[in-house]
With several copies, the nearest count.
Chain A
Amino acid sequence: MTATATATATAAPTRRLTIAKAMSEAIGLSMDADPKVIVLGEDIGALGGVFGTTQGLLERFGAARVRDTPISETAFIGAAVGLAAAGMRPIVELMFVDFFGVCMDAIYNLAAKQSYFSGGHVCCPMVLMTSVGGGYGDAGQHSQCLYATFAHLPGLKVVMPSNAYDAKGLMLSAIADANPVVFMFHKALQGMGWLGTVPGSIVHVPSEMYTVPIGRAATVRPGRDITLVGLGLTVHLALQAATTLAAQGIEAEVIDLRSIAPLDREAIAASVAKTRRLIVVDDDYRSFGVSAEVIAGACEGDVDWLSAPARITHPDVPIPYSPALEHPLLPSAAKIVEASTRLCHDKVE
């Protein structure tokens, strides 16, 4: 969002888009530029994607390039790998990341390993876009994040934007990439009216093509006292917390990972070298997750911690349906403020 800020500053009037529109726009621009780009998935045709990721594409590019599929994720993701090997640039949608269980083989054992098994002779320029996240009462099979599930497996790049500017830029990078990129988008940021949307995700998006590099985090708020690492939705929670903390004299630095794999270890290391305090905020399951990797990676370095790193995550339980259960389990700005204050106790005392 430093990039966003710059863009916003120079361009007038602003084009404030939702992530959904930004994704659709990026795909449309790519399809205009390259006939090899096609889109496959459930309900990505006439419906324009359940989460609005392919709006207007069927009308513009026709049913040969915007292909609604049967509910056959293994086959159509496998087919995308075959298309990619043949020189096409397929973009496939897995409607909810929760559905990975029916088709993970095609993703992690097939797409992810084409390049390696062929010694680089066959590549897999494929984008797998998929929705993540809960908070709206869709229960345990439609609210998961599973960031680490994908990031753990070699051969995949995994990205997730926190705002529309990054969404477009990351999508254009993903489409241009010769490798399979899992493009996660968070439902709470998507900009579909029926889901509610965190306003901060709707930002100025230049109409032309531009890229946001894969593998680079963004420091979306600088600060000297504590590093808050977030991704997608939790970036907004961290920013909100940072505002509150500032009023208490704690200057939080907020890092938006943007890429989960590869992880921008340098950005994290540089920040914690300065702040010597770290909280990772992650709405995925707690254990064996992104938060663990960020903390472990930071702790492997030689940081002279002012207090032990901490994580704020969804706990290790399935995501419950009832708002009375789900909401308190998710990360929140209040939890971040509380934990930050605790870690900075020497400062506030």
Chain B
Amino acid sequence: MPAERDVRLRMYEQMVTSRYFEEAIKLAYLEGKQPLFNMAKGPIPGEMHLSSGQEPCAVGVCAHLRHDDSVTATHRAHHIAIAKGVALNAMTAEIFGKRDGLSGGRGGHMHLFDSAVNFCCSGIVAQGMGPAVGAALAAKLAGSDAVAVSFIGEGAANQGAFHESLNLAAVWKAPVIFVIEDNAWGISVAKRTSTAIARNSDRAAAYGMPGRFVPDNDIDAIYDAAGDAVHRARAGGGPTLIEIETWRLEGHFMGDAEGYRPGGEVADLQARDPLIVYRRRLADAGISVVEFESIERRAGRAVADALEFARKSDYPAVESAFETVFS
């Protein structure tokens, strides 16, 4: 079933919010890193993985989720966090390493945890897959119809945890959806050189679960496929594997010169920027410029507020580094 009008607008708003957020983070990240790029410097240190271009995957899937559904995400997680409803101010403050961050600056960009919406992410490829199966089993044991979604990149589909987690989910008939964001690259390694078959969704058969492939970064198709999978999981039908063709509009992390990327690839993808594509499609469906502008303004304000919140927040006291090692 195609998404309702208000769902589509909410999805668009999340996509825009994510994109604006990353534009803002990008600028902030580069502060103190110019002219000499040094990851350690500026208000946001460390690696920075942007998700621009991949918003449809997050938004189209999370549109079906409730707060009590769990999501485990990857190192490239901003879009997913936003789509899952992670508190944007606290998330931003976390990325700035501030006291008001989700974990008081302990985790940072690759370790965003928001227990209010059951979201977490990780810096280890495929690490979230087992926990998603566990979250799903917990829901099942509790008699709830909550589900879990594990997002990974196509590169992660060659990690052992992928295999073990899909098999375990299938054996347990756990209500979990595995979503592969296939952006064709694992850092500099192309999917076609790292992966023995063209579509990871075909690997679902190895676990007796349905596999769906969604081409072309198409948010409506993603929404559809995810809807089926979430519905199936809530109804006790067990796990599903979905692979989505998406695109990485930026480098693997900021500072990546992308010398390995064929000339023109990024320009081609930018021309098909899913934000532009979706805006056009929504316009064709009758959304007015006024509505777009109001959505975009709201998104802009949310992001600006979040950045301001983060910047104004204090740095944590050193002693807090010794706290919460144990609960």
Are chains A and B touching directly in their complex (CB below 8 angstroms)?
Answer: yes
How many residues on the B side are at the interface (Cβ–Cβ under 8 A)?
Answer: 85
A38: CB under 8 A from chain B? yes
Min C-beta distance of A201 to chain B, whole Å:
15
Docked-complex contact A194 and B255, CB < 8 angstroms: yes
Q: Please, how many angstroms separate the alpha-carbon atoms of A116 and B108 in the complex? A: 11
Name the segment of B1-9, B37-45, B263-271, B295-303 touching the other chain. B37-45
Interface code A118-142, partner B: CB below 8 Å = 1, 0 otherwise? 1111111100000000011111111
A329: CB under 8 A from chain B? yes
Interface code A180-202, partner B: CB below 8 Å = 1, 0 otherwise? 00000000000001111000000
Docked-complex contact B39 and A195, CB < 8 angstroms: yes
Question: In residues 156-190 of chain A, which contact B (Cβ within 8 Å)?
Answer: 157, 178-179
Name the segment of B18-26, B53-61, B152-160 touching the other chain. B152-160
Min C-beta distance of B198 to chain A, whole Å:
14
Contact of B45 among A45, A47, A120, A323 (CB under 8 A): A323
Contact of B325 among A85, A115, A122, A142 (CB under 8 A): A115
Docked-complex contact A194 and B111, CB < 8 angstroms: no
Docked-complex contact B324 and A140, CB < 8 angstroms: no
Centre residue among A83, A119, A194 by max chain B CB count within 10 A:
A119
Q: Which residues on the B side are within 8 Å of A81 (C-beta)?
A: 130-131, 134
Q: Please, how many angstroms separate the alpha-carbon atoms of A67 and B132 in the complex? A: 17
Question: In residues 89-132 of chain B, which contact A (Cβ within 8 Å)?
Answer: 94, 97-98, 101-111, 113-115, 118, 120, 122-127, 129-132
Q: Which residues on the A side are within 8 Å of B37 (C-beta)?
A: 193-194
Contact of B129 among A75, A85, A90, A137 (CB under 8 A): A75
Chain A: which residue is nearest B154 at the CB level?
A71
Q: Which residues on the B side are within 8 Å of A147 (C-beta)?
A: none
Known: A102-B160, A117-B103, A117-B113. A42 touches B189 (CB 8 A): yes
Name the segment of B135-143, B211-219, B235-243, B282-290 touching the other chain. B135-143
Docked-complex contact A82 and B130, CB < 8 angstroms: yes
Chain B: which residue is nearest A195 at the CB level?
B39
Contact of B148 among A82, A115, A140, A325 (CB under 8 A): A82
B187: CB under 8 A from chain A? yes
B205: CB under 8 A from chain A? no
Contact of A87 among B41, B125, B138, B320 (CB under 8 A): B138
Q: Which residues on the A side are within 8 Å of B142 (C-beta)?
A: 86
Q: Please, how many angstroms separate the alpha-carbon atoms of A68 and B44 in the complex? A: 30
Known: A64-B141, A79-B168, A322-B106. A137 touches B40 (CB 8 A): yes
Q: Which residues on the A side are within 8 Å of B193 (C-beta)?
A: 68
Docked-complex contact B105 and A79, CB < 8 angstroms: no
Min C-beta distance of B42 to chain A, whole Å:
9
B249: CB under 8 A from chain A? no
Contact of A325 among B137, B194, B321 (CB under 8 A): B321
A282: CB under 8 A from chain B? no
Q: Please, how many angstroms separate the alpha-carbon atoms of A68 and B168 in the complex? A: 11
Centre residue among B105, B163, B171, B259 by max chain A CB count within 10 A:
B105
Interface code B57-98, partner A: CB below 8 Å = 1, 0 otherwise? 000000000000010100000000000000000000010011
Q: Please, how many angstroms separate the alpha-carbon atoms of A26 and B11 in the complex? A: 50
Docked-complex contact B131 and A155, CB < 8 angstroms: no
Min C-beta distance of A272 to chain B, whole Å:
27
Q: Which residues on the A side are within 8 Å of B161 (C-beta)?
A: 74-75, 78, 102
Q: Please, how many angstroms separate the alpha-carbon atoms of A328 and B319 in the complex? A: 10
Q: Please, how many angstroms separate the alpha-carbon atoms of A251 and B250 in the complex? A: 52
A13: CB under 8 A from chain B? no
B165: CB under 8 A from chain A? yes
Docked-complex contact A72 and B159, CB < 8 angstroms: yes
Docked-complex contact B39 and A116, CB < 8 angstroms: no
A222: CB under 8 A from chain B? no
Centre residue among A77, A86, A105 by max chain B CB count within 10 A:
A86
Min C-beta distance of B259 to chain A, whole Å:
7
Please, could you name 12 A-B residue pairs with CB atoms under 8 Å apart, sorted by A? A47-B259, A78-B130, A82-B132, A86-B135, A88-B138, A110-B130, A119-B101, A122-B120, A123-B327, A321-B46, A321-B94, A321-B108
Question: Which residues of B pack against A, CB within 8 Å?
Answer: 36-41, 44-47, 70, 72, 94, 97-98, 101-111, 113-115, 118, 120, 122-127, 129-139, 141-142, 148, 155-156, 158-161, 163-165, 167-168, 171-172, 186-189, 193-195, 255, 259-260, 315-316, 318, 320-327
Given contacts A78-B130, A84-B134, A121-B115, 7 further A-B contacts (CB under 8 A): A75-B167, A83-B138, A86-B139, A137-B46, A193-B37, A321-B94, A325-B320
